[in-house]
């Protein structure tokens, strides 16, 4: 019980996080922010258009997908493609995809 009290005290009296990275506190430039938003929009539109190649083009080859409900991570573009579009599966139609930050 004493260890729980010590841990709780450490959490209660720890300084709050600042939300800024120690390596980069300047944020994104307007150009970088626009580029990020363009990739997100390409990803969104590609899903809505049923364009698997377009979706995959927005991911890096070492991307990691974290499925819902604590399932194991899906690592790498090839594995993600097999996960989202398994061979022989019927096509999936997405009619709405809202992405918020």
Which residues pair with residue 74 across a beta bridge? 65
The structure's pTM equals 0.69
Residue, of 57 and 22, whose pLDDT is higher: 57
- The number of CA neighbours under 13 Å toward the Cβ of 72 is 5
Mean pLDDT check: name the lowest of 23-27, 35-39, 60-64.
Answer: 23-27
Fold observed for domain 29-101: Nuclear Transport Factor 2; Chain: A, (3.10.450)
What rounded mean pLDDT belongs to the chain?
Answer: 82
Alpha carbon distances (Å) from 70 to 77, 78, 88: 20, 21, 25
DSSP letter for 17, please.
Answer: P
């Amino acid at each position: 019980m004493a260890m729980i009290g010590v841990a709780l005290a450490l959490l209660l009296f720890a300084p709050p996080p600042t939300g800024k990275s120690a390596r980069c506190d300047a944020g994104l430039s307007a150009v970088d922010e626009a580029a990020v938003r363009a990739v997100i929009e390409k990803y969104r539109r590609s899903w809505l258009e049923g364009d698997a190649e377009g979706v995959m083009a927005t991911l890096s080859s070492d991307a990691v997908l974290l499925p819902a409900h604590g399932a194991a991570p899906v690592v790498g573009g090839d594995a993600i493609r097999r996960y989202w579009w398994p061979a022989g599966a019927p096509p999936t139609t997405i009619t709405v995809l809202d992405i918020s930050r």
